[in-house]
Structure 1
């Protein structure tokens, strides 16, 4: 690297790890492919800003976002900036199953992606005429109605495609390169719909980047290592009495809910959608990565499962844009207490189901005009359309 050249985030972080200046920032493995990054919450009693926010502060200083003695110290914002930078970078991938968030000195683990160029100088500042995001060099044409939008606005709003060259004249099609599976997804929201015997009981859009619990009751405090991050959104099953059900079904549902107290934890990571089952009650699923489509897929207890693989989804989307494949699937279904898929019984007869839709996938398909993304509705709906019925 030339003297004075700015380091990329990957180079900068490796330099900080090797320096040994930051307690808890260290290599996770001998091959130096993964590293730990300290992740103590500012609300903890033993939080020490000078030590626990030191790395986050250093990144803010390096990026020119904080000037000592001139700007107000904001450890929460420093941490948010580094987290967002890690999530958006194609050089890093979080390894959720290695995270330890409920110990005295909590940390997250990130994998350093292979194949990137660690010793090149930083790119010059981007301009409106040339906006570059790392991508495969295979061009696809977007539909004309999509291209009628302002490309400047489009690129500000969207991170999934790359535009090179001059601005289009007279609405002429512009070459757009679809991003490779190395793209890091930054929209971790999910739309979760709970169905009781085919009737919609709740519909929620999650907001926490740590995902959500679907469960009966609430998560006990101080059990992050067992249950996952306490910042995950908690979605409690509504009472069966909240919708119109025959008494025999309501009674069966209440019996089932007693076994769903610890529920499941769902989250979207840069490489996919994951789930971990904690409840005593059995949980089955169907979706893009399900092994079977004509017989049940069971989730083992306290084991992490990948429900959707983002690189595969992006590859399938690129094939679709080239006319070489169907629109990729992304919807996930969970069935609590009953086997699913079940060729002998329609899902509208199942006591409790959840439909999970990762919103990054919906946004991508809508942006590329691959047909109207219709809400998947149950056969019967309750009388109102609020989040809880």
Structure 2
């Protein structure tokens, strides 16, 4: 009896055979391949051609017997997709996928580490494999870039010797009030420690269902947190190490006291939020990457629009808050030039946001994200007290002018 091939061997054989339209190598070094991925709902879908590879895998695994079992192209495709996702030999490369063209396809990377005879064992090609795998990971800081950022960040903290917090506050406030009393433009107040407390990667995440809080968590992992329905997207732990990002799962609507129609609507939405979004704080900002199929919208300090929807594109990294900008704005606030800088971020799942026509309390699922380094900075400099005294000073100055 002929020995069964492993999936990697079987799939490489199919690619090399040229039997399947659209199944081909993506690169000359044969580290990545294209696999046709046409949806059965498309008008030009032809089962005999577009489902041929999926059917062949089902036949090979004994899950479909020609003439005896009912043909089920959707199940065939699901079986192969699940097999690819479960296997450590394959890694999807989402940025190379083309799913909106006439002949859509996905791109997968093949892990050759366990096959010494393959050309991928050469150092040059092995570097390409690792680079391609790294490029399809979510944020750069989860890999080597994070390590470099952290080293640079901590070096800068050691090189700059800040004043104690109480002296820092006194210096800044006295400088502000002195210039105000003299009716002069405040001199430039320089932060003696521009990286003050930005090694704090914690976030306070609040999940809301129709404006009602259903979860409030303080995340503590430097790798951030996933907000999701389902499983965390997996990478290659042998290359990247285990993912330690905290996982926040949407609570089941069935466990809430919700009207049946509302629970049903939320369940339909949650089905599209598998894999969710990844949020993290790095030394230069707060970032997000959307993995889920469901649409996600946001508002925050760097949002393009304040009164119309801001959409997060899938598999792209977005900066939600720029820390150098926040520190500059905070400095301007201490100088009396502007109000307290904003730092809170809102996410809306499945519905357009901001939406001037619908209040946020009517949105099915939202999340409020607060980076705690910002909260601590504002508390450190007693911003409530400074804002109050600044208002009094402004009033006094206006009275003197009249």
Q: Give the TM-score normalised by structure 1.
A: 0.52
Instruction: Identify the residue that residue 303 of structure 1 maps to in structure 2.
Output: 316
- The answer to whether structure 1 residue 178 and structure 2 residue 210 are counterparts is no
Q: 2:260 aligns with which of 224, 247, 261?
A: 247
* Residues 198 and 97 of structure 1, relative CA distance in 2, 3 Å threshold: closer
* Residues 111 and 367 of structure 1, relative CA distance in 2, 3 Å threshold: closer
Q: 1:216 aligns with which of 229, 235, 260?
A: 229
Paired residues for 1:137-156 under 5 Å? 140-141=172-173
- The answer to whether structure 1 residue 328 and structure 2 residue 347 are counterparts is no
Report the Cα distance in structure 1 between the residues aligned to 2:159 and 2:146, rounded to whole angstroms: 29
C-alpha RMSD of the superposition? 3.8
- Answer yes or no: is the 8 Å Cα contact 2:227–2:248 preserved in 1: yes
Report the Cα distance in structure 1 between the residues aligned to 2:310 and 2:146, rounded to whole angstroms: 30
Report the Cα distance in structure 2 between the residues aligned to 1:366 and 1:184, rounded to whole angstroms: 12
Q: 2:148 aligns with which of 107, 110, 113?
A: 110
Segment drifting more, 222-231 vs 293-302: 222-231
Report the Cα distance in structure 2 between the residues aligned to 1:346 and 1:229, rounded to whole angstroms: 40
Instruction: Using the TM superposition, give the Cα deviation of residue 219 of structure 1 relative to its aligned residue in structure 2, in angstroms.
Output: 1.6
* Residues 100 and 207 of structure 1, relative CA distance in 2, 3 Å threshold: closer
Report the Cα distance in structure 2 between the residues aligned to 1:220 and 1:291, rounded to whole angstroms: 28
CA radius of gyration, larger in:
2
Instruction: Using the TM superposition, give the Cα deviation of residue 241 of structure 1 relative to its aligned residue in structure 2, in angstroms.
Output: 2.3
Instruction: Using the TM superposition, give the Cα deviation of residue 112 of structure 1 relative to its aligned residue in structure 2, in angstroms.
Output: 11
Segment drifting more, 296-305 vs 183-192: 183-192
Report the Cα distance in structure 2 between the residues aligned to 1:131 and 1:204, rounded to whole angstroms: 32
- Answer yes or no: is the 8 Å Cα contact 1:218–1:236 preserved in 2: no
Q: 1:292 aligns with which of 288, 305, 316?
A: 305
Report the Cα distance in structure 2 between the residues aligned to 1:258 and 1:228, rounded to whole angstroms: 29
Report the Cα distance in structure 1 between the residues aligned to 2:373 and 2:229, rounded to whole angstroms: 27
Instruction: Identify the residue that residue 13 of structure 2 maps to in structure 1.
Output: none
Report the Cα distance in structure 2 between the residues aligned to 1:190 and 1:209, rounded to whole angstroms: 10
Q: 1:368 aligns with which of 371, 381, 396?
A: 381
**Secondary structure of 1:140 counterpart:** helix
Q: 1:281 aligns with which of 280, 284, 294?
A: 294
Cα displacement string for residues 309-332 of structure 1 (whole angstroms, at most 9, x for unaligned residues):
011111111111111100000000
- Answer yes or no: is the 8 Å Cα contact 1:184–1:270 preserved in 2: no
Cα displacement string for residues 67-92 of structure 1 (whole angstroms, at most 9, x for unaligned residues):
xxxxxxxxxxxxxxxxxxxxxxxxxx
- The answer to whether structure 1 residue 236 and structure 2 residue 249 are counterparts is yes
Report the Cα distance in structure 2 between the residues aligned to 1:226 and 1:248, rounded to whole angstroms: 46
Report the Cα distance in structure 2 between the residues aligned to 1:308 and 1:228, rounded to whole angstroms: 27
Report the Cα distance in structure 1 between the residues aligned to 2:203 and 2:236, rounded to whole angstroms: 24
Q: 2:351 aligns with which of 308, 328, 338?
A: 338
Instruction: Using the TM superposition, give the Cα deviation of residue 230 of structure 1 relative to its aligned residue in structure 2, in angstroms.
Output: 1.0
Segment drifting more, 224-233 vs 240-249: 224-233
* Residues 179 and 264 of structure 1, relative CA distance in 2, 3 Å threshold: farther
Report the Cα distance in structure 1 between the residues aligned to 2:278 and 2:238, rounded to whole angstroms: 13
Report the Cα distance in structure 2 between the residues aligned to 1:225 and 1:285, rounded to whole angstroms: 34
* Residues 227 and 353 of structure 1, relative CA distance in 2, 3 Å threshold: farther
How many residue pairs get aligned? The number is 230
Report the Cα distance in structure 2 between the residues aligned to 1:107 and 1:210, rounded to whole angstroms: 12
Please list every run of 5 or more consecutive structure 1 residues that lacks an aligned counterpart in the other structure.
1-95, 145-175, 373-389
**Secondary structure of 2:214 counterpart:** strand
Q: Give the TM-score normalised by structure 2.
A: 0.51
Instruction: Using the TM superposition, give the Cα deviation of residue 238 of structure 1 relative to its aligned residue in structure 2, in angstroms.
Output: 0.5
**Secondary structure of 2:328 counterpart:** helix
